[in-house]
Each structure stands twice: as structure tokens, then as C-alpha cells.
Amino acid sequence: EPIQRGRNRPDDGGRGTGEQRAQEQRSAFFQALRRGLPRMAPEQRALVENTAGEILVPEDLETEINRALPDLTIMRGIASQRSVTTNRVRRRSLAEVAVGWGKLETNEQDLTDSMPGTPTDEYTYIEDLYGLAKVGEDELDDSDVNIEAFIRDSFARACAEAEDTGFTVGTGHAAFQPVGFMTAGGGVPTVAAAGATAITTDDLKKLIYATPAQYRRNGRFAIPSGTELAISLLKDGNNQYIWQPNAQAGRPNSLFGYAVENQEDMAVIAASARVAAFGDFNAGYRIYDRQGMTVKVLTELYSEDGMIGWKIRKRVGGDVVRPQALRILTMKAA
């Protein structure tokens, strides 16, 4: 992909320190949002324009937006994250690494090659997440500080909602989406519930113990609020509720000592539905961020309404990287 202008240039053209240049980029960015790139002076335009004619969000502002995401999402707070510079990431088609005791040079052991005889290329793709914001022409008269606050809050919230949906139930690259951990494409093993319309304590314990011990240590549940309500009414043999609400603000509730995260895109309890997940999400799922959030100004499309459109583009992907670290509870067929 072509190198983007206005970012990571080795020579600042005598403009001064990196801090001064960052301020110039920020100033040019807000001018571009108000006026559009065609109306800007060439030297200012070069600070924020990429080869596709889009406005590059300044790196420090993009970092602030990304920093807000874990507070607004479930998956950003529990999955692993990695920054990439390519459109796709190759996933190794390997079994777990084989290890053994003894010196190799004295033939005390044999190591088994974990590479399959005919390796296949498997990729996680970085997808395009688009959004549209309509801003009143009067609002553009506000200070840069006000517009920055609007961008930081609105962009982060919109991206957070879309990302959480994609990381949970996204159907993969064929649909231009991440691979959701709850979908069949994620390859996460399933555990069958005993019934079709109700979860039991036995179902939940089977879900926990179907997960390998090394992943139970950092395990947590992911369930929608309606399912959590149904679980919160379950009692043990002593007629005590097994669900433990957390009295501390900002901390998740717990179930059998494991944290419970609410993910509202998951299916509700119904026959054959995938209704809950458990495991080590940090080990099992990875989010890939490709830096370079951009905006395109749509000056004419909404002009009759006194509005200017901002089309936002963010590059992000997600995939199950270690299916064995997670388990999904599926309800019995009707």
C-alpha cells in the first residue's frame, strides 16, 4: 500500500521540533474538517492528506480515541491487542509446539515437527470500519477544542459499539467483518446444555470444566444481560444464589468466582442458540489495529440541510487465535 504523506516524514522541512509539527498537523486537520482539502493551501494540505485524498486524523488524537475504547467496550478490555502495518496477518497453521526432556545431541529425545506436511496459508484480514457524522455548519464555528471533544467522544463511542459487535458475532472477511468468537468460523469448541429453553447450574459447571485448566485460571464468562438475569435466579443445593453481584462500582459480577462480562450482541436463551462463552479471552482472541484513521469531508451532499458530513474510516480486524482457550455453551435443539 502506498506510503501516506504527512505522517512519519524523515524531514520536517525546517518547521521546527516534532511538537511544533504535531501542532501544525492538528491545526491543519481542523481546517480540513471545516473547509475540505481542496480549499486549503498546498503546504497545509500535505500535512494531513493521504494518497486517497482523505484527511488523516492526527496521531495523538487517534491515540486518545483508541485509549477511550477499552472503557466503552467489553472485548477491548479482555482480549489481546496488536498493532499492524499490513492489510492482513498470516496465522500459522501449526499444532502446539512439542517439547521434551533430554539433550538432543546425545539422542536422549526426539522432537516432533509441529509443521503439517502441507501447510496452508491462513490469514486474519484488517477490515474497514466506516462511520458517518453530520455536523451543523454553525457547530463548525466552534473552537478547535469543542470540535476535538466531539470527535473524541463521538468517534470512540461509534467505533466501540461496532467493534464489539464484530468481535463477538462478526462473520469474517467474506462479509468484510472480523471473525466473532461466538460464530462457527471462530472454531471455538462447544458444550451442549441439557435443555433447550433454560440454563442449569450443571450446564455452567460443564462449561467451566470443559475449558483446559491453564485457561480457567484467567477465565471469565461473556453473556448478555437477559441471560445473566436468568442465571442470577439459579440457586445451589442449599437454596443460596450462585450469582454474586459486585458491590464495587466498575467491577464485574461473578459466577462461581469468575468475572461476568455482559455482551449484548450474543443470542438470548433459545433452542440451538449459542448463549454463553467462558475462558481466557486474552489468550483466545486478538484484535488487530492498523493505525491511520481518516476522515473525508462531504461538503455538498447535505448542504441543503445546513449540514456537512464527515465519513470516518478505521482499520481494524479480529480473530480467534487460540480456540482451545474458550468454550461456548449451546442450547439443546427443540
Confidence (pTM): 0.81
Percent of the chain at pLDDT > 90 equals: 48
Please give the Cα distance from 310 to 55 (Å, whole number): 10
> Does residue 265 surpass a pLDDT of 90?
yes
Q: Give residues with Cβ within 8 angstroms of 77, minimum separation 6.
A: 70, 71, 261
> Does residue 77 surpass a pLDDT of 70?
yes
Please give the Cα distance from 62 to 10 (Å, whole number): 21
Quote the pLDDT of residue 5.
44
Please give the Cα distance from 63 to 145 (Å, whole number): 16
Q: Which residues pair with 297 in a beta bridge?
A: 310
Nearest to 255 by CA among 217, 204, 313, 209: 204
Nearest to 60 by CA among 88, 94, 25, 87: 25
Listing DSSP states for 47-86 in one string gives HHB-TTSPEEPPHHHHHHHHHHHHHH-SHHHHSEEEEESS
Q: CB–CB of 29/40 below 8 Å?
A: no
Of residues 137 and 185, more confidently modeled: 185
Quote the pLDDT of residue 108.
67
Collect contacts of 203-210 with beta carbons under 8 A, ≥24 apart. 203/329, 204/231, 204/242, 204/255, 204/256, 204/276, 204/329, 205/256, 207/276, 207/278, 207/327, 207/329, 208/256, 208/258, 208/278, 210/327
> Does residue 194 surpass a pLDDT of 60?
yes
Q: pLDDT confidence of 153, banded at 50, 70, 90?
A: confident
Burial of 142 (0-12, 13-18, 19+ CB in 10 A): middle
Please give the Cα distance from 99 to 102 (Å, whole number): 10
Average pLDDT over residues 231-254: 78
- DSSP, collapsed to helix, strand or coil, labels residue 107 as coil
Q: Which residues pair with 327 in a beta bridge?
A: 278
CA distances 2 to 49, 54, 90, 241, Å, are: 13, 13, 20, 58
Q: pLDDT confidence of 110, banded at 50, 70, 90?
A: low
Please report the beta strands in 105-255, taking only residues with DSSP state E, as ranges in sequence order: 122-125, 127-136, 190-192, 220-223, 243-244, 253-255
Percent of the chain at pLDDT > 70 equals: 85
Of residues 304 and 224, more confidently modeled: 224
Please give the Cα distance from 90 to 88 (Å, whole number): 7
- Dump pLDDT digits (tens) for 116-137: 555 556 889 999 999 888 888 7
Average pLDDT over residues 11-22: 66
Please give the Cα distance from 327 to 275 (Å, whole number): 11
**Within a 10 A sphere around the Cβ of 99, how many other Cβ atoms?**
8
Q: What does R_g of the chain's alpha carbons equal in angstroms? A: 24
Q: pLDDT confidence of 275, banded at 50, 70, 90?
A: very high
Quote the pLDDT of residue 1.
44
